[in-house]
Chains A and B, each alone.
Chain A
């Protein structure tokens, strides 16, 4: 798993590359845990190269959901592969999270 950060004025984009399983989710958790992340108004997750997400990976997003909401930070997923989207959908997260097809739409949210 590789996570690359790209930040502009109010937006932080995290690009996930690889498989998000129990071990790599620790890495993501520490990224999302950083206090300064709440200074952004929007955190975009680029899922183009995300091939797999385990329940531990989902757990990381779920555990930060409330914190982001409380801080008024929007969490937006985009470029999600079909099978990964399916995992989000089965768990019912598609009704809870903002998942959009492209980066442009994500920026517009």
Chain B
């Protein structure tokens, strides 16, 4: 409200100005001899005083709420030590006045007038400050209705300020009636003392003293005005002014009511404080619990807070939670005794249900345990889904617990259960995030392991396709040029998924590059590089030590010698090689035997793997792939299968490698349209070309 603020910034200068005006008018009025004995009119003085009062009240009204949080004592203290001390100034001035009267009677009348005017100013300041402090208290956590009522109260008081300004004065009866009505309104508003409930015992004592101080300050002012009412020749003795009278009455009455309420609240302060303590400890528990990282911390916090709040003499907690090793704890009771009580409760069919017994010595079963307790509360920790344990609290005296204890424990335990379930949810989501992160790493590792550049030569065409399933699988392939116009092609599939599969792919690639190094000790050309079966045996040997028990790897290694137009390969449990023989004009699979890697982890592996030699002809097509292709599912759950793949090659063998691959893939896509991809799909098509392609040019 910028207008209000602008207005209020004018109020202070206006107040000062009007006070000076009031002083001058009062002096002129009281000493007409100074201006040549013509009597000075009374109204400028009344106007100046009314303007002063209005300015001070409006200024104070526009101040920000002086109540900070719940610091009621601070509010009262600031009121007493600020404006309240103005009362001493008032007393001082009065003494000074008396002194002048005795010493120099000549000017004592002027001094009295000045002192009186100063005191009127101070009193108005004090009243304004007091009443707007009371406003903070009355409106503390108030309803809209009360706020409206306060607004009316202010407005009506404001109107009384104008009463003396007009020359018409209402009949005495009406005036008294209005005064009584407004006084009653003020008294009614004074009943709003809600804030007292928020004080503890010490604060209440302090409040009583502060309120007494304020009433005394008020009394000093009122006493002064009563005393001076008849001694000074003034037109506006303060008590006659309805505005000041009503304000003073309200200020004093509110202070008095507050004093009474606080005073009579003192004996019950203990109970209030205990309830407050319960609420505060619930708040503390809530805050602490939210900070705790583990279920055990949450349980421990519940246990400590519960004992403190209900002031139990002994207690124990049973925790039944799979996510933590914490099984509960005991407070001033031996675990055996706790177990005995639990057994007893179980016999009565009272195990782990909400239960309050305030007269234990009356139970024969409990008497036989010979324990010095009179009251027991059992509070289960339960959510709609499951039970997380139970809390047992004991007190030595009978009737030790009440319904309130039970309900506060209920609140504690439900808060605890909520936190435990939140923690579990959070852990699950962290776990989920970790898995996602792992998959991301694995898939980027796998991606980096797939060769980006395919070998290019005049003698063959290669086209490749690799598609990773959502969960990272373990497909891989790689190429290596060997001296003497030879090319090694490796394809394979690691069982399992995720980061371990990606790791084994990397390992396999390492083994491939390490074993495919030229052997300097070789006696002839053929021994320089291991033949595929030898490679597989050595790879199996290398993998035996690092592959986990249930994991295995399938692979095929082809070494293509395009100088001599032939290739040799070994199949270690990998999918059969599909081949188009251009001479026979026939498509078939090479059915060779061969065991997967990592299945047998000793030297006998070599017996299970064979080499297959073949001399190729230009126009021959080799299709190598992983099981993600032939095991792709169709709509009815059937597999794509080797037969359909074979038929596809029969229809496309005459195309170039890339076109063959595209045709197979589009057929596969059609077959498995709308089905999720469960496994990686890898497809390589190699087409052998004329041995002298240049001749064609």
The interface residues of chain B lying within 8 Å CB-to-CB of A91 are 552, 554, 573, 595-596, 599
The interface residues of chain B lying within 8 Å CB-to-CB of A63 are 549-550
| CB of A17 to closest CB in B, whole Å | 16
The interface residues of chain A lying within 8 Å CB-to-CB of B5 are none
Interface of chain A, main secondary structure: helix
Q: Is B396 an interface residue (CB 8 A)?
A: no
Distance, CA A92 to CA B606, complexed state (A): 13
Distance, CA A58 to CA B631, complexed state (A): 15
Q: Which residues of A31-64 have CB atoms within 8 Å of chain B's CB atoms?
A: 55-56, 58-60, 62-63
Please, which residue of chain A has its CB at the minimum distance from the CB of B641?
A83
| 11 sample A-B contacts, Cβ–Cβ < 8 Å, listed by A number | A55-B496, A55-B552, A55-B627, A59-B496, A59-B551, A62-B598, A83-B639, A92-B572, A93-B573, A95-B595, A96-B599
Known: A62-B552, A63-B549. A56 touches B573 (CB 8 A): no
B495→A92 contact, CB < 8 A: no
Distance, CA A63 to CA B627, complexed state (A): 21
- Besides A55-B495, A59-B496, A66-B601, 15 more A-B contacts (Cβ < 8 Å) are A29-B550, A55-B627, A56-B496, A56-B550, A62-B550, A62-B599, A83-B639, A90-B574, A91-B573, A91-B596, A92-B594, A93-B596, A93-B599, A96-B599, A96-B600
Distance, CA A62 to CA B540, complexed state (A): 15
Q: Is B330 an interface residue (CB 8 A)?
A: no
| CB of A27 to closest CB in B, whole Å | 14
Q: Is B673 an interface residue (CB 8 A)?
A: no
Distance, CA A62 to CA B495, complexed state (A): 12
Q: Which residues of B225-247 have CB atoms within 8 Å of chain A's CB atoms?
A: none
Considering only CB atoms and an 8 Å cut-off, how many residues of chain B contact the other chain?
A: 25
Q: Is B576 an interface residue (CB 8 A)?
A: yes
**Per-position contact with A for B554-590: 1 when CB-CB < 8 Å, else 0?**
1000000000000000001111100000000000000
Please, which residue of chain A has its CB at the minimum distance from the CB of B609?
A92
The interface residues of chain B lying within 8 Å CB-to-CB of A96 are 595, 599-600, 608
Distance, CA A29 to CA B549, complexed state (A): 12
Which of the listed residues A62, A63, A66, A96 has the most CB atoms from chain B within 10 Å of its own CB? Answer: A62
Q: Which residues of B460-505 have CB atoms within 8 Å of chain A's CB atoms?
A: 493, 495-497
Q: Is B266 an interface residue (CB 8 A)?
A: no
| CB of B138 to closest CB in A, whole Å | 69
The interface residues of chain A lying within 8 Å CB-to-CB of B552 are 55, 58-59, 62, 91
The interface residues of chain B lying within 8 Å CB-to-CB of A56 are 495-496, 550
Q: Is B593 an interface residue (CB 8 A)?
A: yes
Distance, CA A59 to CA B599, complexed state (A): 9
B550→A92 contact, CB < 8 A: no
Distance, CA A66 to CA B544, complexed state (A): 13
Distance, CA A56 to CA B551, complexed state (A): 8
Distance, CA A34 to CA B549, complexed state (A): 17
Distance, CA A66 to CA B575, complexed state (A): 25
The interface residues of chain B lying within 8 Å CB-to-CB of A62 are 550, 552, 598-599
The interface residues of chain A lying within 8 Å CB-to-CB of B550 are 29, 56, 59-60, 62-63
A90→B576 contact, CB < 8 A: yes
Known: A59-B551, A62-B552, A63-B550. A93 touches B639 (CB 8 A): no
Please, which residue of chain A has its CB at the minimum distance from the CB of B494?
A55
**Per-position contact with A for B595-617: 1 when CB-CB < 8 Å, else 0?**
11011110000001000000000
| CB of A105 to closest CB in B, whole Å | 22
The interface residues of chain A lying within 8 Å CB-to-CB of B497 are 22
Please, which residue of chain B has its CB at the minimum distance from the CB of A29?
B550
| CB of A31 to closest CB in B, whole Å | 14
Distance, CA A88 to CA B101, complexed state (A): 126
The interface residues of chain B lying within 8 Å CB-to-CB of A29 are 550
Selected from A59, A66, A95, the residue in CB contact (under 8 A) with B593 is: A95
The interface residues of chain A lying within 8 Å CB-to-CB of B551 are 59
Distance, CA A59 to CA B573, complexed state (A): 13
Which of the listed residues B493, B554, B575, B599 has the most CB atoms from chain A within 10 Å of its own CB? Answer: B599
Distance, CA A92 to CA B601, complexed state (A): 14
Please, which residue of chain A has its CB at the minimum distance from the CB of B596?
A91
The interface residues of chain B lying within 8 Å CB-to-CB of A65 are 599
Please, which residue of chain A has its CB at the minimum distance from the CB of B600?
A96
**Per-position contact with B for A77-106: 1 when CB-CB < 8 Å, else 0?**
000000100000011110110000000000
